[in-house]
Structure 1
Amino acid sequence: MTDTINAATLTDRAGALVELALKAGADKADAVIVRSRSTGVTVRLGKVEGTESSESDDFSLRVFVGNRVASVSANPGFDLKALAERAVAMARVSPEDPFATLADAAALARDIADLDLFDPTVVSAEELTAAALEAEAAALAVQGVANSGGASAGAGMGGLVLVTSHGFSGSYMATRFSRSVSAIAGEGTGMERDYDFDSSLYFGALRGAADIGTVAGERAVRRLNPQRPDTASDVTVVFDPRVARGFVGHIAGAINGAAVARKTSFLRDRMGQQVLKSGLSITDDPQIRRGSSSRPFDGEGVKGEKLTMIEDGVLKHWFLSTSTARELGLTTNGRGVRGGNQVSPGSTNLALEPGTVSPQDLIRSVGNGIYVTELIGHGVDMITGEYSRGASGFLIENGELTVPVSEITIASNLKDMFMRVTPADDIDRSFGVASPTLAIEGMTLAGR
C-alpha cells in the first residue's frame, strides 16, 4: 500500500482547526482526523459477486466552554473557521458535563513509539480475487462439501491524527489484510455450514488461501448428522478458541469503566476482589509490536501501558478514558477509544493468559461433556451476569470428541463461569482478543 496518511498535511489542518476553535471562544479543544482506505472482493461458485473500494477522511472537532462540550464532524472541503465557530456556538448552549475534559497534560504521550503497524505491500483487486477463488475452490474440493457460502479477501489501511489545544500532536497508521470462506456440507434439511478466516496487519503473515478453504470445508463436513443430547445439569463445556474469544469479550465488558459508571456491570462493586478462578490473569497491552489492536497512544493522546487487568483471579483495573475515570474518581489508563465524536474506554490487545495443559489433555480430563464450536443468540445480561446461548459442537465422551451436536442451549451465570474456567495452552495472539481453549464446569445443558 503506497498511500500514506500524509501526516504532516493532516496534522497542520487539525492544528489550524484547534486554533480557530480557541479564537472562537473555546477554552479547550481537540481535533481528530481518521483516514481509511479499503478494497474487498467477494466470490461465490467461481464467480465474482462484488468488488468494493472505499476511501474516507473524517474530521471531528471537540470543544469545551467551561463545563460544556460539543462535537462536530465534517468531510474534506469544509470551511475550517465556520466549523470551529459552529462547534463553539453549540457548546455554549449544551448542558454542563462535569466529567468531560481533555486528558491531563502530564499523561500525554511524549515519545510516540513506532509499533510497526504498516505494511506497504500493494495487493491488487486481481490478487484479492485470485485468493478468494483459491479459498473457495479448496473448500469445495473437500469430500462432502456440496456448496459454497462464498469467499472473500480484503486489504485496507486506517490512520489517525490527533491534535489538542494543550500541546499534543501525533499520528499513526495500520494496515489490515483478510481472507475468509464459508462452506456448506450435506443436502436439504441436513445441510451444515461452517467457516474459516484469517486477518493480519501484514500480508505475509496471512494463512494461505487454500489452507483456509480446506479447514472451512472439513469443519462443515464434521458437523453433518448432528444429534441433540439429553438435558442435563452440572455439565462441563469446553469452548473452542473461536468461541472462547467471545467469552473473554464478556469479561472485558464487565470491567469496562463506562459500564461501571452506568452501574450496568455485574462486577461494578468487585474491585480488589477475586472475580476469576485463582491462578488466572487477564492482560491488556496496547504497545505490542505488530499487535492486532496496538496503538502508540489512545483516542485522547495518552500512552497506555501494559496492564494486568485481573491478576491471579483478583480484579485490579477498569478500562478507563479520561471522562469515565473522572466520574469514578480515578485517572485514565490510556484506554480511550475514539468513536465518532465520543471517547469511551475499551480494550486493546486483550488476552486471557494460557494454562499449562494441551487442549487434547484438557478434553481428556473432562471425560464427558460438550465441545462448543459455535454460539447463537445474544442471551447475556451484563447487569446480572445471566448467560444463556444457543450452541452447537461435539459430544465429549470418555475424553474424546465424538458425534456432532446442535439445537442445544448452554446456561449459567458469568460470575460462576469466571470461577470455574480452566484454560489450555493453545493461545493465538494474532487477534485483538486472544484466548486458549477453555473448559467451564457446572453449566446447564438444555437438549431434548
Structure 2
Amino acid sequence: MLESLTHAMLKAARDAGADDAEALAIRASATGIDVRAGRLEHAERAEGVEIGLRVLVGGRQASVSGADHTEETIAVMARRAVAMAQAAPVDDSLGLADPDQLMRDLDASALELYDPGAEPDPAMLEERALRAEAAALDTDGVSTVESASASYTTRDTWLALSNGFEGGHVRNYRSVSCTAISGTGQQMERDHAGEGRIWDEDMPEPEEVGRLAAERAVARSGASKPVTGSFPILYDERVSSGLIGHLLAAVNGAAIVRGSSWLRDAMDMQVLPQGITIHEDPHLARMTSSRIFDAEGLPTAPRDIVSDGILRGWSLDLATARKLGLESTASAVRGLGGPPAPGVSNIVMTQSGQSRDDLISQMGRGLVVTSLLGSSINPTTGDYSRGAAGFWVENGRISHAVNECTIAGNLRDILLRLIPANDARMWRSVRVPSLLVEGMTVAGA
C-alpha cells in the first residue's frame, strides 16, 4: 500500500508540472497506557497512514502533507504543491541526487529494527505499568507515584523519488516509565526513570524502572539552593548527551550555511580535549536511529565528526553540501511536511577508564547536575546558561541535593575542558558518559 501511494504521488506531481518530486508514506500505530494508584488512568490507541510530497520546479520547492490519501486528494495536493513552488524563491542548491549516488542494496535486516514477536496488548502494557508503580511505592521514602506508563509503537516508512530511488524501514519500539514523588507539602521532590528498546528481550523488568525512579526521588529529599561561585560541574550521564548535542547542532550544515554557528570557523581545529572522538554510526543494530540510507536515498556510512579532539566534518544534506562546495555526508532527515535537512543518527563518544565516582572524588567541591530546565544558548557565540538541579559535592563526596540554580559558561571553553567517565549506556542511540567540566559559574543562594 505505501509503495503504491508514493508512486501515485510521483505521477500526480509529474502531471501537475513538477520537474522532480519526493513522496513519503508512513503507516504508524501506537498504544499507550497510564496507571495511577493501582488503577488504569488513561489508555490511548492511534493508527493511520499519512503522506507527504515535495516538488521541485525550476529551482524552487514546496512541500505538502495530509492524512487523506484518495486519488482525488493526491491530485489536489500535487497541484497545490506545484503552485506553491512556482511562487517560491529560486535556490540553485536544490535538486535530487544523481542516480549513481543512490543506495542500491536495501537490505536492512542486519540493523534488526523490528522485533517480529507478538505485539503487547493493552492488558500486558497495563500490567507492566502497574508493576513499575508498585515497585516505586514499595520504596522507603516515596510518598506517591505521579504516573507510570507503558507503550508500544510501530512505524512503516516508504520513500520514493523521481530519480529512481525507493526504499523503506519498518521499526517498532516499546517503553516503560515511572515518575515518583518523595516528601510532602513544600518538601515534595519528583524524579523519573524510563527505559525503551526495539526488542522485547532487551527490556529491563518494569520493577527496575519503578525502583530507579523511586530511588532518584528519595535522593532529592531536602534539596536546597547551592552557593554562588565558580565550581567544577559533573554532567550526569542522564543529561550529558545534551551538552554534546550543542556541539552537534553547531556542526549542522544548515547552521554553517547561515553563518549562525559558534563553530563556523572551527574546521580542523581543536574543539574537544585530545583523545576524544565523536563517532557517528548509522549501522548499529537494534538502535532507533539506525538507517542504511538517508532521506535523499544516499547510502549512510560511519564517520568521525570529531577525531582526537579535532573537528573533522559538518553534517550535510545535498542542499547544504552544494552551498558549501562539499559532498553530502548522507545526513538528510525529513518529516512529512517539509524538505530534507541535515541531522545525525547514532552518536558514540570516547569514554575514559574512570568511573563517575572517580570524577566526583576529583571535584573536591562542586555540583553534580542530574536535570536541566530552560535554556539560554546563543548559537552564534556559544554563550550558555541553563537552570539546573542535582547534588552538591563536598570533599569529593555527594553531601546533599540541590535545586533552583543556574549554571553558565561558554560552550567553546566548556567542551575543551571535558573529562569523560565510563558510564555511557549502550542501549542509547546517543552514547555519552558523565562529563566533568572544571570551573563553570553556579548561581544559587
Same fold (TM over 0.5): yes
Matched residue, 1:66: 58
Shift of 1:197: 0.4
Corresponding position: 1:129 with 2:142: no
Match of 1:433 among 427, 430, 434: 430
Aligned to 1:50: 42
Which string of whole-angstrom CA distances, capped at 9 and with x for unpartnered residues, describes residues 116-155 of structure 1?
A: 1001231000111111111111111111111111011000
Q: Does 1:97 align with 2:91?
A: yes
Alignment-mate amino acid for residue 376 of structure 2: G
Alpha-carbon separation, structure 2, partners of 1:82 and 1:404: 58
Q: How does 1:336-355 map to 2 (within 5 A)?
A: 336-339=332-335, 340-355=337-352
Alignment of 1:173-192 (within 5 A): 173-192=170-189
Shift of 1:352: 2.0
How far does the alpha carbon of each residue in 1:377-402 deviate from its partner, in whole angstroms, 9 at most, with x for none?
11222221111112111122222222
| SS of corresponding position for 2:377 | coil
Inter-CA distance 32–399: structure 2 relative to 1 (3 Å threshold) = same
Given the alignment, which residue of 302, 309, 312 partners 1:306? 302
Matches within 5 A, 1:356-371: 356-371=353-368
- The aligned amino acid for 1:250 is H
Give the alignment's Cα RMSD to 1 decimal: 1.5
| Aligned-partner SS, 1:289 | coil
**Residues 226, 17 of structure 1: alpha-carbon distance in 2 compared, 3 angstrom cutoff:** closer
Tell me how far 1:88 sits from its aligned partner: 2.6
Q: How big is the shift at 1:81?
A: 3.5
- Deviations 1:22-75, CA, capped at 9 Å, x for gaps: 243222112111221110011111222211111121111212122122222232
Question: Equivalents in 1 of 2:53, 2:192: separation in Å?
Answer: 41
Which residue of the partner structure matches residue 402 of structure 1?
Answer: 399
Note the C-alpha offset of 1:271: 1.1
Q: Distance in 1 between matches of 2:16 and 2:405?
A: 61
Provide structure 1 residue ranges, at least 5 long, that are not aligned to the other structure.
1-8
Deviation at 1:78, TM superposition (A): 4.3
Instruction: Write out per-residue CA displacement over residues 190-247 of structure 1, whole angstroms, 9 at most, x where no aligned residue.
Output: 11000100011112211111111011111111111123232112x1101110110111
How is 1:46-445 mapped onto 2 (pairs within 5 angstroms)? 46-75=38-67, 76-79=69-72, 80-112=74-106, 113-114=108-109, 115-121=111-117, 122-233=119-230, 235-339=231-335, 340-445=337-442
* Contact 1:364/1:399 (8 A) holds in 2: yes
CA distance in 2, matches of 1:269, 1:14: 41
Distance, in Å, in 2 between the alignment partners of 1:29 and 1:155 is 33
SS of aligned partner of 1:378: strand
CA distance in 1, matches of 2:386, 2:84: 44
| Between 347-356 and 209-218, the greater mean CA deviation after superposition | 347-356
* 1:162-207 Cα distance to aligned partner (Å, 9 max, x none): 1111111111111111110000000110110001000111122111
Amino acid aligned to 1:77: T
Count of aligned pairs = 439
State the identity %. Answer: 41
Which whole-Å CA distance do the structure 2 matches of 1:286 and 1:165 have between them?
Answer: 25
Letter in 2 for 1:32: L
Aligned counterparts of 1:103 and 1:338: Cα–Cα separation in 2: 15
CA distance, structure 1, for counterparts of residue 75 and residue 346 of structure 2: 38
Unaligned runs of 5+ in 2: none
Q: Which amino acid aligns with 1:83?
A: M
Mapped contact 1:184–1:217 kept (Cα < 8 A) = yes
CA distance in 1: counterparts of 2:71 and 2:182, whole angstroms = 52
Distance 2:36 2:421 in 1: 36
CA distance in 2, matches of 1:426, 1:377: 25
8 Å CA contact 1:178, 1:200 repeated in 2: yes
Contact 2:2 2:26 in 1 (8 A): no
Q: Conserved in 1, the CA contact under 8 Å of 2:97 and 2:163?
A: no
Please state whether the residue corresponding to 1:379 is helix, strand or coil.
Answer: strand
Provide the rounded CA distance (Å) in 1 between the counterparts of 2:42 and 2:398. Answer: 38
Say if 2:269 and 2:311, in contact at 8 Å, map to a contact too: yes
Distance 1:229 1:70, change over 3 A: closer
Out of 69-78 and 40-49, give the one that drifted further. Answer: 69-78
Q: Secondary structure at the match of 1:388?
A: strand
Given the two structures, how large is their TM-score scaled by the length of structure 2? 0.95
Name the amino acid aligned to 2:358.
Answer: D
Could you tell me whether the CA contact under 8 Å between 1:351 and 1:429 is conserved in 2?
A: no
Report the TM-score when normalising by structure 1: 0.95
CA drift of 1:362 comes to 1.9
Deviates more, 1:11-20 or 1:31-40: 11-20
Does the 8 A contact of 1:248 with 1:351 survive in 2?
no
Stretch deviating more after TM superposition (11-20 or 287-296): 11-20
Counterpart code for 2:92: P
